[in-house]
Amino acid sequence: MEKVIVAFAGAQNGKRIREILERSGTAACLLCTSADQVRRTVHEQQVEAVICGYKFADGTAELLYEDLPAFCRMLMVASRSMLELVRNPEILRLNAPASRSELLEAVEELLELVRARPNRRSEEERELLLRAKAKLMAEGLSEEEAHRALQKKSMAAGVRLTQAARMVLERR
């Protein structure tokens, strides 16, 4: 059984989805209630699939997705109006409320993407991020602090992580 992160700001939604997925034998679930918990869990346990709502207390799922490693995929379960706000075409979407069969079908599609393992970020984008981190590290930040600084710049400017990296590299 594959492992997935189920992350919703309200724990009740996550528990319902975990119950459906685990009872059906589709996936073993790790519950999270914040974007930061998801980031930590993905990195610590190398989880490749995240099922989540639109927003957490500490940011949107779309911004979270930009921070996740290239091997990680996301299924967002939210109302149609919230899903329409999502601009990233790589994020799978499921309109809520969804039936049990619709949820299982969407999760199976998510897991198929994980199994296929195409990287989301190109080699050029990864190199860009590494160069920006190196520049920040040369200014005295640790690698973790440099990554966090890129994340904060991305969120503050409302741009993708790679765009924030370009901004760092272009400044004098």
Report for 14-18, 43-47, 64-68, 116-120: range of highest mean pLDDT? 14-18
Tell me, what DSSP letter sits at residue 26?
S
Nearest-10 crossing angle of helices 123-138, 143-157: 110
Per-residue pLDDT at 143: 78
Q: Which residues contact 152 (CB under 8 A, 6 or more apart)?
A: none
Q: What's the mean pLDDT in 5-22?
A: 93
| φ, ψ of residue 119 in degrees (nearest 5) | -70, 140
The domain limits of the chain are 2-116, 123-170
Q: Could you tell me where the DSSP H helices lie in the chain?
A: 11-23, 35-45, 61-67, 80-83, 100-116, 123-138, 143-157, 161-170
- Condensed to tens digits (0 to 9), the pLDDT of residues 1-10 reads 789 999 999 8
Rounded alpha-carbon distances, angstroms, from residue 69 to 58, 79, 117: 19, 26, 12
Q: Locate 7 and state its tokens.
A: 């992350």
As a three-state string, the secondary structure of 111-148 is HHHHHHCCCCCCHHHHHHHHHHHHHHHHCCCCHHHHHH
Per-residue pLDDT at 67: 83
Q: What is the mean pLDDT of the chain?
A: 88
The CATH architecture annotation of domain 123-170 reads Orthogonal Bundle (1.10)
- Condensed to tens digits (0 to 9), the pLDDT of residues 58-106 reads 989 998 998 888 788 999 999 999 999 988 888 999 999 999 999 999 9
Q: What is the CATH number of domain 2-116?
A: 3.40.50.2300
- Residue 28 Rama label (left phi>0; alpha psi -120 to 50; beta): beta
pTM of the model: 0.69
* pLDDT(107) > 90: yes
| φ, ψ of residue 54 in degrees (nearest 5) | -75, -40
SS3 7: strand
Alpha-carbon distance of 70 to 161, in angstroms, equals 12
